[in-house]
Structure formats: C-alpha cells, structure tokens
C-alpha cells in the first residue's frame, strides 16, 4: 500500500499530515510512503528528514495519482481529488455536513473518504481523536495570544511600588480546548471563571482551579458524544444574563462554543462588549463557524468599543511542530486500524469505520451527508 502526503494548500496552514518519525514506523510496518516536496517545511521538517525516514519525495501529481491512500490535515482541492485513482482512499478533516462540494468531488472521483472529525469519541478510538489533540494545543495557544494582547500581567505581584492584582479570565466552554485554557491561565497566575452548559464539567473545572459559573440547564440542552448538539434561545439568554457582570469585570474572555454542523451560538453580545473595560481582550475560538461574538472577524484582530477581539481561525497551525506530531500519531493509529500493508480491511459495520466513512465507491454513505 502506497501512502501519499501532499503539501497543505489552505491559506495559513503550517501543519503536515505525517512527520518523519511516524513515517519511519509505517515504513517498518511494510507501507510505502511518498511525500510531496516541501510538504513539511512549514512545520520545520525538511525533505532530507523524510528521505532519511524512508519516504520518497516527489511532485504533487505523483502523490495524488500514484497513491492508494492520501492523508492530509485539510481535504485537497477538487482538482487534486480528481487526480486520485478511482477507488483510492482519502483521510483528512472534512467537516462533511457543511461541505457538500467536497463530498461531491469525492463521489465523482470514486474516492472513499474518511473524515478525522467524524471519528467516534469512544475509548478505543482515543488515539485517533484528532479533534481533541488539536483542540488541546489550541486551548493553550489561545491563552498566550490573549496574554500577549493584554496590557497587563496575569499573576498577583507585590512590589515596592505597589501591588498588582491578578488578571481575571473568563472562559466559556469547558471542552478539551477550554480545559487546557483553564490550566494554562491558572499556571500564569490568573483568576479563572468558567461557564459551560453541561453541569458534568463542573468537577473538571474546579479540579483545575477554576470557578464554575453554573447556569441551570433545561430540556433544550442536548449532548451527544461529548458535544452540545442543540440549545434553545431561552437558555442562551439566561446564560448571557448570568455572565454579563462577570464579562464586564474580565480582563480576558475566551470563547470555545461550537455546535457541529451549525453556526456557532452567540455568547457575547455587542452590549456585553461595550460593558467591558478599555484594554480588555476577547479571543473567539469559534470565529470560523460564525463566531461566539458578532464583532469578531475571521483571521483578524480588531478593536471594537475599546476591546481587542482576536479571531484566529487556525490556532493549532500556530504550533506546527507539536500539532503535526500529534496529528500524525492520530493518523497512524487510524490507518493501522483500517488497513494492513497489503490493503484496506473494509469492515463497514465496525463502529469506527462506520462512524468516519463519508463516501465509498462513489456513494455518500454517512448519515450526515445522506439526504
């Protein structure tokens, strides 16, 4: 089986799907790997690093036309999918429910496509959970971006010239990214308050030293596989009312709330931004899905009503070495589950395969894309 690693083409993307260390292990297991020239250069891996690991380096056409499996961080462009062999396999992030054109490209090319964001969140798939590995890094980097934009330090500091009070950080959402943000902000010495609509996260928040701001749930809050799948407007209004005074006193607010396949919920209204002190900072981690704050702008840092609002959409890419290494290990575990060096197993009723396979043999088969 020949595995191809193309160079990422999405604007601002610095990650690479496989690192030399992981490739060396796959080659040892009997796979053949070919990597597009300079595919890893933005993540600080040279062509020589890949050849020393046992991979061949080549041009893009050779990678796409000559590989049995293409592995990427982001899905390739339609013209590159069209170059793939009929019956070849694509493994990448797809977010298929909101990317109909990508699904159609895979169907037209006869490509069987697996989406890394659709891997079921079950115990035996933890090593394959790329959403978690990348969100973990994003949560860490978010705090550093916020701290860098803030005109004050995080920790309590007592000096001869006076005492500096610790910064107050409000984090909205205690998923993987939120929990890492809590831990990072606490390590830097901030006072951390956290809101999450899932009451079961309270214990995790408090174990990291955060104060949990509890909003009473209702029947509209639906969770599935660790994600919030739906919430009513009434609940969001109650949450906003509770958080208003906390956000008004915050130095840094980090929002992480996403609903798969839907626009991100608005958590911070313009009135809430107006209530914040001059020099405060908001980092909107949901900006690519519409944003948790209506004033955030995609891939821009703007100042609105005296508040700096950061809308970086690809936080893991700002840590390309660690992000690539963790993602490559996710891909390795996933690939070894799906295939041997001799070919794909195609166990279509197996839970991980069934949960992540979007298209197969020219047909859309995943529930998220089947009308």
Strand partners, 34: 4, 56
Q: Which listed residue (46, 52, 108, 126) is catalytic? A: 126
3-state helix, strand, coil in the chain (%, to 5): 40, 20, 40
Token code pair at residue 247: 């956000």
Between strands 357-360 and 363-364, the pairing is antiparallel
Measured between alpha carbons, how far is 295 from 272 in angstroms, rounded to an integer?
11
Is position 45 annotated as part of the catalytic site? no
Q: Residue 71, SS3?
A: strand
Contact present, 178 and 171 (Cβ < 8 Å): yes
Q: Which listed residue (132, 198, 313, 368) is catalytic? A: 132
Q: Which listed residue (129, 196, 251, 325) is catalytic? A: 129
Contact present, 74 and 13 (Cβ < 8 Å): yes
Is position 121 annotated as part of the catalytic site? yes
Measured between alpha carbons, how far is 129 from 41 in angstroms, rounded to an integer?
25
Q: Which listed residue (21, 25, 38, 227) is catalytic? A: 227
Q: In the chain, which residue ranges form alpha helices assigned H by DSSP?
A: 20-28, 47-52, 60-65, 78-83, 100-109, 130-149, 176-187, 202-207, 233-248, 270-275, 320-338, 351-356
Is position 327 annotated as part of the catalytic site? no
Q: Give the distance between the most distant pair of CA atoms in the chain.
A: 72
- Residue 366 carries which DSSP code? S
**Burial class of 268 by CB neighbour count within 10 A (0 to 12, 13 to 18, 19+):** buried
Measured between alpha carbons, how far is 236 from 245 in angstroms, rounded to an integer?
15
Contact present, 294 and 311 (Cβ < 8 Å): no
Q: Which listed residue (25, 38, 121, 187) is catalytic? A: 121
Is position 124 annotated as part of the catalytic site? no
Strand partners, 33: 3
What region does 269 belong to: left with phi over 0, alpha with psi -120 to 50, or beta?
Answer: beta
Contact present, 282 and 256 (Cβ < 8 Å): no
Is position 59 annotated as part of the catalytic site? no
Active-site residues, by number, are 121, 126, 129, 132, 227
């Amino acid at each position: 089986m020949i595995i191809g690693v193309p160079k990422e083409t999405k604007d601002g993307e610095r990650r690479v799907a496989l690192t030399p260390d992981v490739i060396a292990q796959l080659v040892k297991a009997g796979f053949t790997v070919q990597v597009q020239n300079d595919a890893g250069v933005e993540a600080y891996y040279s062509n020589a690093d890949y050849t020393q690991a046992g991979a061949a380096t080549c041009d893009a056409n050779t990678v796409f036309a000559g590989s049995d499996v293409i592995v990427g961080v982001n899905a390739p462009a339609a013209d590159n999918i069209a170059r793939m062999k009929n019956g070849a396999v694509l493994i990448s992030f797809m977010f298929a429910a909101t990317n109909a054109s990508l699904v159609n490209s895979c169907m037209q090319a006869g490509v069987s496509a697996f989406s890394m964001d659709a891997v079921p969140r079950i115990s035996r798939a933890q090593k394959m959970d790329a959403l978690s590995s990348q969100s973990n890094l994003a949560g860490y980097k978010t705090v550093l971006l916020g701290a860098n934009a803030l005109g004050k330090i995080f920790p309590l500091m007592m000096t001869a010239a006076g005492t500096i009070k610790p910064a107050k950080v409000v984090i909205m959402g205690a998923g993987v990214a939120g929990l890492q943000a809590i831990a990072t902000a606490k390590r830097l010495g901030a006072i951390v308050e956290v809101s999450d609509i899932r009451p079961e996260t309270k214990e995790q928040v408090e174990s990291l030293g955060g104060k949990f701001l509890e909003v009473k749930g209702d029947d509209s809050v639906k969770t599935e596989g660790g994600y919030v799948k739906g919430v009513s407007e009434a609940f969001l209004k109650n949450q906003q009312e509770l958080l208003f005074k906390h956000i008004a006193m915050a130095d840094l607010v980090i929002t992480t709330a996403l609903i798969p396949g839907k626009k991100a919920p608005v958590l911070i209204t313009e009135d809430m931004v107006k209530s914040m002190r001059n020099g405060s900072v908001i980092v909107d981690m949901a900006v690519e899905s519409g944003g948790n704050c209506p004033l955030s702008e995609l891939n821009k840092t703007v100042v609105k009503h005296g508040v700096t609002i950061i809308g970086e959409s690809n936080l893991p890419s700002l840590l390309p070495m660690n992000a690539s290494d963790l993602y490559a290990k996710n891909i390795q575990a996933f690939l070894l589950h799906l295939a041997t060096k001799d070919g794909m197993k195609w166990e279509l009723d197996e839970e991980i395969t069934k949960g992540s396979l979007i298209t197969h043999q020219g047909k859309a088969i995943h529930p998220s894309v089947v009308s």
